[in-house]
Amino acid sequence: MRYIKYGLLVCLLTLSGISKAQKLPPVNDIRKTFKRGETGASVPEYAVTKDSWPKIYTFNCHAGSTQIYETYDSGYMILGLLVDNDMINKMSFIIKTDVNGNLLWRRIIGDPQNQGAFSHITPTQDGGCVLIGSTTTVDQCTDNDCYDAWIMKLDACGNKEWCKIYSVPMDVDGGSDIVQLSNGNYVALVNYFGYDIAEERIWLFCLLPDGETIWQKVYLTSEHPHWATNGYGYELLKDNDENLLFTGECVLYDNYINPNAWSFQLLHVKFTAEGEEIWGKPWYMNYDSTHFGGRVSVQDFDGNYTSGGGQYSGWSGCNCHPPVLFRQTKEGANIAEIRYTQGLPPYIGSGGISGLTYLEPNKLALATTYRDEPGYIAGHNVVRLSDTLGNILNETEQFYDWNEILGITKTTDNHILTTSGYWITPDSLKLFLYKYTPDLEYPPTDTRPLVYDYLCSGTPQANDTIFPDCDIIVGMAEPMHQTERYSLLASPNPATEQLTLTIPDRMMKEWESNGLSSRTLYYTLPDNLQLQFTDALGRMCETVPVSKGTQQVTVDV
């Protein structure tokens, strides 16, 4: 649920002399997503238009939206947050609308006596959705040190099917993203899980359709001389080949020559649906105090990856901090960045890309925020159409506000949807939904005779509150450190004639590359398990297949 503020304030995070022993504490406040302007700041009121768009949704408290997607029936599902006067996320809500943005039903989710909300929503194969975020429901404290990761599955009618809270007492754990695989399983991204947040910050969990865990993974535990740490994960992208791309950030240290040399870097890891890494790398392996950041990634028409973000340490080409598109091939090779310097004055100009979607092979829509004045100020929130060379083809400004566009998507009928939370007065944060044609004009009313919620047996309840009555899962961090439990046991040892091997009931794999490393714990053994025997020179001597459920294997020495 972290909110990135693009601009000069981010650039003030530039540090010097950070050593390996001075690992950065968490800088992501999972309590807050939206911002309030400085006291006394002039926040312009929204200019009401005669168009049907944008839609402004009213709640009895501050409210904003972080994400939107098109549902199976051509309606729209919006994930939003209810926040208090201190901008603390108190509860979540989802609203289902028709194709014209008119409300069909809504669900308020959470406990008003506690804090917490969902950061991401994903449509599921059955027409429902799955949500992930963080909550204080278990520990019931009011600071930033007792959040637990939280996952909830809803059916197509907005009814709760299951809910799980992964409890680590009095610890800060942030659920960031979740995707569904074609086999119905889920892969969830969680930050700061467990107590060792100096070494183990990024976690992945693979769940069965009913929410049971089948494997878990932790990243950034490397002692490689090119040392990557202080990791944070924003998003998981499931690509066309059923592989997943992790998008996040890390800090690199040069322990070969100068442990005080470092840089913030965009981080990508590509892995299979079974949790096997394909490749992983920071954007650059440079130690020059640069800061590249990005939090959203999409796949283009050729299967390559594009991430939106910014260069927060400044770029000599404009002496500013521009929004950036980071592009990679599907094999992980970097393609030249695209920097958008339009509208940015030297030294004080800054910005970032918070969302993107491809419209055509050589055309994409960008949710962009930029600032063209010095100091802690509001930003220009614009939707831009760009070609793949970095030329801006068209743009429209939504709002001059402290918050940015947090959700953007393309619909099946080639419209562009965006959503966020903007201040219509200094004391009123409202949820906004925009809809554009491919030319960034507001579309007319859609008159198609669509049938909504046809997967429901009846009409969904118009308003309902879902309380966090969830299964509480404990002890999920400890198994990752019980490495002796997953080792083969040999008896007798040493052996002269026969050797009996006891097979563990779980399996752990380790991976390392480019200063990154991971440990993956599988809760069940694979069906095609084999034991391979080598001699002292590493030459293969024998391969013994192991049938599923086998607990011991005896071999001749």
Find all residues with CB under 8 Å of 378, minimum gap 6, and list them. Answer: 37, 41, 43, 371, 400, 401, 402
Q: Which of 183-192, 225-234, 468-477 has the highest mean pLDDT?
A: 183-192
Task: Tell me the CB-side half-sphere exposure of residue 280, using CA atoms within 13 A.
Answer: 25
Q: What percent of the chain has pLDDT over 90?
A: 56
10 sits in which H/E element? helix 8-11
| Helix locations, 89-238, DSSP H | none
Look up the pTM and report it: 0.89
CB 311 within 8 Å of CB 292 = yes
Q: How confident is the model at residue 38 (pLDDT cuts 50, 70, 90)?
A: low
- Radius of gyration (Cα) for the chain, nearest Å? 25
Above 80 in pLDDT, residue 16? no
Q: Which residues of 36-47 are buried (b: 16+ CB within 10 A; e: fewer)?
A: bbeeeeebeebe
Find all residues with CB under 8 Å of 333, minimum gap 6, and list them. Answer: none
Above 60 in pLDDT, residue 403? yes
As a whole number, the mean pLDDT across the chain is 87
354-365 pLDDT, tens per residue?
999 999 999 999
Over range 433-443, report the average pLDDT.
97
Q: Which two tokens stand for residue 85?
A: 């006067």
Q: How confident is the model at residue 485 (pLDDT cuts 50, 70, 90)?
A: confident
Find all residues with CB under 8 Å of 234, minimum gap 6, and list them. Answer: 2, 176, 177, 247, 248, 249, 294, 295, 296
Which one has a higher pLDDT value, 57 or 87?
A: 57
CB 513 within 8 Å of CB 224 = no
205-222 pLDDT, tens per residue?
999 999 999 999 998 765
* Residue 25 pLDDT: 55
Q: Which residues of 539-549 are buried (b: 16+ CB within 10 A; e: fewer)?
A: eeeeeeebeee
Helix (H, G, I), strand (E, B) or coil at 324: strand
Phi, psi angle pair for 482, to nearest 5°: -95, 55
282-341 pLDDT, tens per residue?
998 777 777 888 989 999 999 999 999 998 877 888 888 999 999 999 999 999 999 999
Find all residues with CB under 8 Å of 257, minimum gap 6, and list them. Answer: none
CB atoms within 10 A of CB 351: 30
Over range 510-531, report the average pLDDT.
86
Above 60 in pLDDT, residue 83? yes
Determine the distance from the C-alpha atom of residue 16 to the mean position of all C-alpha atoms in its chain, rounded to a whole number: 28
**Closest Cα to residue 182, out of 241, 268, 246?**
241
Name the residue with tokens 């890494």.
Answer: 277
* Residue 181 pLDDT: 98
Alpha-carbon span 370 to 381, nearest angstrom: 7
Cα 514 to Cα 273, 284, 330, 536, distances in angstroms: 21, 10, 17, 29
Find all residues with CB under 8 Å of 1, minimum gap 6, and list them. Answer: 30, 31, 32, 33, 66, 89, 117, 118, 119, 133, 134, 174, 176
* Residue 13 pLDDT: 28
220-243 pLDDT, tens per residue?
765 555 567 888 999 999 999 999
Q: Is the peptide bond before 494 cis (omega within 30 degrees of 0)?
A: yes
CB atoms within 10 A of CB 264: 24
Q: Which two tokens stand for residue 547?
A: 């049938």
Determine the distance from the C-alpha atom of residue 48 to the mean position of all C-alpha atoms in its chain, rounded to a whole number: 34
* Residue 18 pLDDT: 38
Q: What are the CB-based long-range contacts (under 8 Å, 24+) for 196-202?
A: 197/25, 197/26, 197/172, 198/23, 198/229, 199/229, 200/480, 201/26, 201/229, 201/230, 201/231, 201/232, 202/231, 202/232, 202/233, 202/246, 202/248
CB 375 within 8 Å of CB 427 = no
**Closest Cα to residue 220, out of 203, 238, 237, 205?**
203
Q: How confident is the model at residue 503 (pLDDT cuts 50, 70, 90)?
A: confident
Q: What are 356's strand-pairing partners?
A: 366
* Residue 206 pLDDT: 97
Task: Tell me the CB-side half-sphere exposure of residue 544, using CA atoms within 13 A.
Answer: 16
User: What does DSSP assign to residue 11?
Assistant: H
Above 90 in pLDDT, residue 397? yes
CB 513 within 8 Å of CB 471 = no
404-436 pLDDT, tens per residue?
999 999 999 999 999 999 998 888 999 999 999
Above 90 in pLDDT, residue 456? yes
Domains of the chain plus CATH, in order, are 302-440 (2.40.128), 489-545 (no CATH)
137-183 pLDDT, tens per residue?
998 887 667 899 999 999 999 999 999 999 988 888 889 999 999 99
Cα four-point dihedral sign 543, 546, 551, 554: negative
- Amino acid code (one letter) for 416: I
CB 99 within 8 Å of CB 446 = yes
Above 60 in pLDDT, residue 20? no
Q: What are the CB-based long-range contacts (under 8 Å, 24+) for 129-132?
A: 129/77, 129/94, 129/153, 129/154, 130/154, 130/178, 130/180, 130/186, 131/79, 131/92, 131/94, 131/178, 132/175, 132/176, 132/177, 132/178, 132/188, 132/189, 132/190
- Amino acid code (one letter) for 168: V
